[in-house]
């Protein structure tokens, strides 16, 4: 049964388990390459176009190898699919017994201790919070996994979840009275015993860095590490290897101290007053940033002389609270945890305020009521290279979007990868027959004041031809909002706009309606799978270059420039190409799908770099005529008036 040809054959065990199974040469070839990598120990970068079936292509050789395998995915949804659907399928196909485990981040598991504290709390709850708390309590009495995804009746955005789950800051660890029954601890124990473990990129990075939020024993024991949706790993690692302090973090600390104060330290009124002073200083700091919601570089703080003093005041209040908590810490594990958390937040804020090193990018982000201060590494290449070299494991990186113009230089450079086998397989779908690439004429440059208005004029005939059934994707929320306002009265199809409802609700409505137009930004560019006629058109407003004013992007580009490199060619262009490939990937998701891809940016043909984008896209027929778009859609709809 270890013969891959037999397993993937038209009459093989896969065909017996998968309805409509067809042998795909690229899938079989990828499985062979993964098996070769595992047997030789040489790392593999594998780009597999949409429809290749890469999940099965890497699972079968990994399991046949008999080696302990760690699989990291980009999202929790992909984790769940791997664990609940793909791995059980492979178990039946191969008739090979193996232990599997699914491990999520700590915030995905109910914390028994914090739930009990919340239930005992005198903190006032709103009517909705009381309802959610009751539902969570009833569920907690019968759950076996403690995975909060089981509680469909409570929204993911409920304000109760942060109060009944733990963070690395507030977890009591082995000092917790519920440690032996902790769902997270049980999941980690099962993970250590498994032969195939499914995690996400955040946990992979946590284990890599051996942070307190990690567990430090997964990577050392893995013989094979498969990174699916590998194009997302760079951003995840950059965030995780950085450092941040947020207003919410400090307000949560204050709330937890007050809960512990009411329970076990009511004779220490300074705790209450210090908490109130901290909350007041955090609020004043947010006001000092001004009303706008934005991301900015640390250098911008100098333009607003009131911000740094306000942050210094926050630091002073943290120091006061830490000193007040120190004598109380001996009383209970909860107070001891608050004291340690306060000391850690104080240390982080001090580091951010005093940091002058050249290895980090310092920046801030403001939200409506909160703010976050962060530092991010300029590069993760050396650190990641060290991780790969230090672990005696075979690494497989796979995604539908890793190459630029057929080369993997960019991905390897940002991840610090060397001496890898690099292979790419085109999608088995017939893009030349199934898809049409429309590039409209006479559109102004994206920075034109008339751009949004002309964009709407251009897409209305397209949407009429497609009868709705479209994703309209944007690179900025500002343009999305402006276009949504202009477009709404001009089309007769249901319009769904990102931000009006939760993402999954919008997607479900889009599938159900069958003729809707969904306007979205980054979160709809990837990880969205809508098959069939409901999605027959993908329109992208402009080439997805990251905003040059973004503080992290700007700092990285300046750093590359100082090192004598061309920041546009080395970073901006390849990042934009990979993002565009993800957006195009929403269109054809099945062998029977048909659709039109529309790119409304005139720079595609006016700038020399446009050729790099074109060389990186699937081989679609191209047109600049709306008549061709209408004819494409008419091939089906004209035969079926309904």
What pLDDT digit, counting tens, does each position of 335-360 carry? 998 999 999 999 999 999 987 767 89
Give the pLDDT of residue 370: 94
Edge to edge, the sheet with strand 243-246 lists 243-246, 371-377, 360-366, 295-297
Give the pLDDT of residue 218: 65
- Which of 187-196, 294-303, 485-494 is the most confident on average? 485-494
Phi and psi, residue 398, nearest 5°: -140, 150
Q: Is residue 641 predicted with pLDDT exceeding 60?
A: no
To the nearest whole percent, how much of the chain has pLDDT over 70? Answer: 96
pLDDT range class, residue 69, cuts 50, 70, 90: very high
pLDDT range class, residue 387, cuts 50, 70, 90: confident
Q: Which two tokens stand for residue 77?
A: 């949804």
Q: Which two tokens stand for residue 24?
A: 């795909």
Give the pLDDT of residue 210: 53
To the nearest whole percent, how much of the chain has pLDDT over 90? Answer: 71
Give the pLDDT of residue 205: 84
- Max Cα–Cα distance, the chain, nearest Å: 81
Closest to 200 in 3D by CA, of 59, 41, 83:
83
Closest to 30 in 3D by CA, of 403, 393, 425, 399:
425
Q: Are 77 and 198 in contact (CB under 8 A)?
A: no
CA 586 to chain centre: 16
Mean pLDDT of 90-111: 92
Give the pLDDT of residue 374: 94
**What are the DSSP calls for 530-567, one per residue?**
--STT--EEEE-S--PPPTT-HHHHHHHHHHHHTT--H
Edge to edge, the sheet with strand 495-497 lists 495-497, 517-520, 470-473, 537-540, 595-599, 435-438, 621-623
| Domains within the chain, CATH numbers bracketed | 25-99+194-240+385-425 (3.40.50.300), 106-183 (no CATH), 243-377 (1.20.1440), 431-637 (3.40.50.300)
CA 492 to chain centre: 33
pLDDT range class, residue 172, cuts 50, 70, 90: confident
Who's near 327: CB < 8 A, 6+ residues apart? 268
Who's near 461: CB < 8 A, 6+ residues apart? 626, 629, 630
Partnered with residue 519 across adjacent β-strands are 472, 497
Give the integer Cα–Cα distance in Å for 293 and 290: 8
Q: Report yes or no on whether pTM surpasses 0.85.
A: yes
* Span 512-553, pLDDT tens digits: 999 999 999 988 988 888 999 999 999 999 999 988 788 999
Mean pLDDT of 180-201: 91
Give the pLDDT of residue 285: 96
- 613 HSE (CA, 13 A, CB side): 27
Q: Where are the alpha helices (DSSP H) in 98-182?
A: 112-120, 127-140, 161-164
Q: Is residue 219 predicted with pLDDT exceeding 70?
A: no
pLDDT range class, residue 212, cuts 50, 70, 90: very low
Give the pLDDT of residue 220: 65
Q: How many residues does the chain have?
A: 642
Closest to 402 in 3D by CA, of 385, 434, 424, 428:
424
Q: Is residue 215 predicted with pLDDT exceeding 80?
A: no
Q: Are 73 and 82 in contact (CB under 8 A)?
A: yes
Partnered with residue 297 across adjacent β-strands are 363
pLDDT range class, residue 211, cuts 50, 70, 90: very low
Give the pLDDT of residue 629: 96
Partnered with residue 362 across adjacent β-strands are 375
* Span 543-602, pLDDT tens digits: 999 887 889 999 999 999 999 999 999 999 999 999 999 999 999 998 899 999 999 999
Q: Is residue 469 predicted with pLDDT exceeding 50?
A: yes
Q: Helix crossing, 247-264 with 269-288: angle to 10°?
A: 170
Closest to 600 in 3D by CA, of 515, 538, 534, 516:
538
Closest to 516 in 3D by CA, of 221, 85, 43, 500:
500
Q: Is residue 105 predicted with pLDDT exceeding 90?
A: no
Residue spans of beta strands (DSSP E) within 219-355: 224-228, 243-246, 295-297
Give the integer Cα–Cα distance in Å for 170 and 319: 18
Q: Where are the alpha helices (DSSP H) in 141-228?
A: 161-164, 183-193, 201-209, 218-221
Closest to 378 in 3D by CA, of 553, 602, 612, 214:
553
Q: Is residue 139 predicted with pLDDT exceeding 50?
A: yes
Who's near 307: CB < 8 A, 6+ residues apart? 285, 288, 289, 301
- DSSP 8-state code for residue 498: T
pLDDT range class, residue 1, cuts 50, 70, 90: very low
Pairing between β-strand 196-200 and β-strand 224-228 as defined by DSSP bridges: unpaired
- DSSP 8-state code for residue 165: B
Lowest average pLDDT, out of 218-227, 284-293, 411-420, 611-620, goes to: 218-227
More confident residue, 493 or 391: 493
Q: Is residue 228 predicted with pLDDT exceeding 50?
A: yes
Closest to 295 in 3D by CA, of 376, 349, 237, 201:
376
Partnered with residue 623 across adjacent β-strands are 438
**SS3 assignment for 48-101:** ECCCCCHHHHHHHHHHHHCCCEEEEECCHHHHHHHHHHHHHHHHHHHCCCCCEE
pLDDT range class, residue 505, cuts 50, 70, 90: confident
Mean pLDDT of 396-405: 96
Closest to 190 in 3D by CA, of 103, 87, 86:
103
């Amino acid at each position: 049964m270890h013969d891959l040809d037999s397993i993937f054959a038209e009459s093989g065990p896969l065909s017996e388990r998968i309805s409509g199974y067809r042998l795909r040469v690229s899938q079989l070839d990828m499985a062979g390459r993964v098996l070769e990598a595992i047997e030789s120990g040489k790392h593999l970068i594998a780009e597999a176009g949409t429809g290749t079936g890469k999940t099965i292509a890497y699972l079968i050789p990994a399991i046949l190898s008999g080696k302990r395998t760690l699989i990291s995915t980009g999202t929790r949804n992909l984790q769940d699919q791997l664990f609940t659907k793909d791995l059980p399928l492979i178990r039946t196909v191969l008739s090979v017994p193996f232990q599997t485990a699914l491990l999520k981040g700590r915030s995905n598991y109910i914390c028994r201790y914090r739930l009990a504290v919340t239930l005992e709390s005198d903190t006032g709850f709103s009517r909705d919070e009381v309802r959610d708390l009751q539902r969570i309590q009833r569920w907690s009495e019968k759950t076996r996994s403690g995975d909060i995804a089981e509680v469909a009746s409570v929204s993911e955005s409920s304000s109760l979840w942060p109060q009944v789950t733990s963070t690395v800051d507030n977890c009591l660890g082995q000092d917790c009275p519920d440690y032996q029954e902790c769902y997270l601890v049980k999941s980690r124990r099962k993970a250590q015993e498994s032969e195939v473990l499914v995690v996400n990129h955040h946990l992979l990075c946590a284990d890599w860095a051996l942070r307190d939020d990690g567990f430090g024993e997964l990577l050392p024991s893995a013989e094979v590490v498969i990174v699916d949706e590998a194009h997302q790993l760079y951003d995840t690692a950059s965030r995780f290897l950085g450092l941040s302090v947020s207003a919410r973090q400090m307000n949560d600390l204050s709330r937890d101290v007050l809960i512990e104060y009411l329970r076990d330290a009511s004779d220490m009124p300074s705790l209450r007053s210090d908490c109130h002073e901290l909350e007041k200083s955090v609020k004043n700091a947010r006001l000092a940033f001004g009303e706008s919601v934005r991301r900015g570089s640390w250098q911008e703080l100098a333009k607003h002389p009131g911000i740094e003093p306000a942050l210094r005041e926050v630091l002073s209040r943290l120091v006061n609270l830490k000193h007040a908590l120190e004598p109380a810490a001996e009383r209970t594990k909860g107070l001891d945890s608050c004291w340690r958390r306060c000391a850690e937040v104080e240390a982080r804020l001090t580091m951010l305020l005093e940091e002058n090193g050249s290895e980090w990018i310092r920046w801030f982000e403001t939200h409506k009521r909160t703010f976050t201060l962060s530092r991010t590494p300029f590069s993760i290449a050396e650190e990641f290279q060290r991780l790969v070299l230090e672990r005696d494991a075979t690494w497989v990186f796979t995604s539908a979007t890793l190459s630029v113009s057929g080369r993997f230089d960019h991905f390897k450079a940002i991840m610090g990868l060397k001496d890898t086998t690099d292979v790419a397989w085109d999608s088995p779908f017939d893009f030349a027959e199934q898809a049409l690439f429309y590039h409209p004429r006479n559109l102004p440059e994206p920075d034109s004041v008339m751009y949004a208005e002309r964009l709407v004029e251009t897409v209305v005939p397209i949407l009429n031809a497609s009868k709705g059934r479209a994703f309209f994707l944007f690179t900025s929320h500002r343009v999305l909002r402006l276009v949504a306002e202009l477009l709404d009265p001009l089309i007769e199809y249901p319009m769904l706009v990102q931000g009006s409802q939760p993402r999954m609700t919008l997607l479900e409505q889009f599938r159900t309606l069958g003729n809707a137009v969904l306007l979205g930004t980054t979160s709809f560019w990837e990880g969205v799978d809508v098959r069939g006629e409901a999605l027959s058109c993908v329109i992208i407003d402009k080439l997805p270059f990251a905003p040059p004013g973004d503080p992290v992007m700007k700092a990285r580009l300046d750093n590359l420039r100082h090192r004598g490199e061309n920041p546009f060619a080395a970073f901006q262009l390849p990042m934009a190409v990979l993002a565009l490939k993800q957006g195009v990937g929403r269109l054809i998701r099945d062998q029977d799908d048909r659709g039109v891809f529309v790119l409304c940016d005139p720079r595609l043909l006016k700038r020399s770099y446009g050729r790099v984008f074109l060389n990186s896209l699937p081989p679609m027929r191209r047109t600049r005529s709306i008549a061709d778009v209408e004819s494409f859609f008419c091939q089906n709809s004209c035969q079926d008036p309904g």
